[in-house]
Amino acid sequence: MENNFFNNDSRIGIPSLFYDTLTGKPFSKCQVCEKEIMEHSTNYIIEKVFRKNIISGKIDVHFEFAICFDCAMNLTNSYSKESKENLQRFFTENVEQDFKKHQEVKLATERDVVEHLSACSITGKPVTELDEYQIIGQFTGQYINPAMAPVMIGSGAMDEVSDLLSNKTLDEIDDFTGKYLTGPPEFRDFFKAPKRRPILV
């Protein structure tokens, strides 16, 4: 991935979109190993799934987590060989193409990032047309990791990604999410439904 999403000398802080919904503040720890992640050089990932509430029509955070690179690596290493190959192929064929377009975009402020996240990074579908989507960002300490712009993935594309994972891998992700995810209590039901799982990229 090219390092030209961002203006060279501007570091962007963590957009509030990626804050811990329960505290309204940035995540402070990896939810797996409890390492402090706001430290200067700690690399970590934040992933959140938003879903439209059928009754209120409001988009709510369905679940979210912060995980350090080491723990994320351990999880993806546990994916089956087949799943890893499928994911790799999918991202090479679909995502990288679209990311090339995004590379034209210069992200200089939090506002640019939020704007950038307003359409699916894979299909280009606007967030206003999605009932469910996830955002994934990589961070280093208190800043967005300049090597990777955050992405938004709409529900259609999420299903495509889930379909690429083997049952063994999906079971492992289920174990992981059961143990570590935070969010409203009903989020656990989310994992009982097929094809609705977090994907670490």
Contact footprint for Zn ion (CB under 5 A):
30, 32-33, 35, 68, 71
Nearer to Zn ion, 30 or 119 (CB): 30
Nearer to Zn ion, 14 or 72 (CB): 72
Q: Considering the complex, what minimum distance in angstroms separates the CB of residue 136 from Zn ion? A: 16
Classify residue 139 as exposed, middle or buried by CB count within 10 Å of its CB (0-12, 13-18, 19+). buried
Q: For residue 67, what are its two tokens?
A: 């995980």
Find, among 62, 47, 183, 200, the residue nearest to 132 by Cα.
62
Q: Can you tell me the distance from the alpha carbon of 83 to that of 85, in angstroms, rounded to the nearest whole number?
A: 5
Q: Considering the complex, what minimum distance in angstroms separates the CB of residue 36 from Zn ion? A: 10
Nearer to Zn ion, 74 or 109 (CB): 74
Q: Considering the complex, what minimum distance in angstroms separates the CB of residue 80 from Zn ion? A: 22
Q: Please state whether 183 falls in left (phi above 0), alpha (psi between -120 and 50) or beta.
A: left
Nearer to Zn ion, 65 or 99 (CB): 65
Q: Considering the complex, what minimum distance in angstroms separates the CB of residue 32 from Zn ion? A: 4
Q: Considering the complex, what minimum distance in angstroms separates the CB of residue 59 from Zn ion? A: 29
Crossing angle (nearest 10°) for helices 167-180 and 69-77:
150
Nearer to Zn ion, 30 or 136 (CB): 30
Contact 135, 47 (CB under 8 A): yes
Nearer to Zn ion, 7 or 177 (CB): 177
Q: Considering the complex, what minimum distance in angstroms separates the CB of residue 44 from Zn ion? A: 8
Q: Can you tell me the distance from the alpha carbon of 50 to that of 30, in angstroms, rounded to the nearest whole number?
A: 20
- At residue 127, φ and ψ (nearest 5 deg) are -60, -30
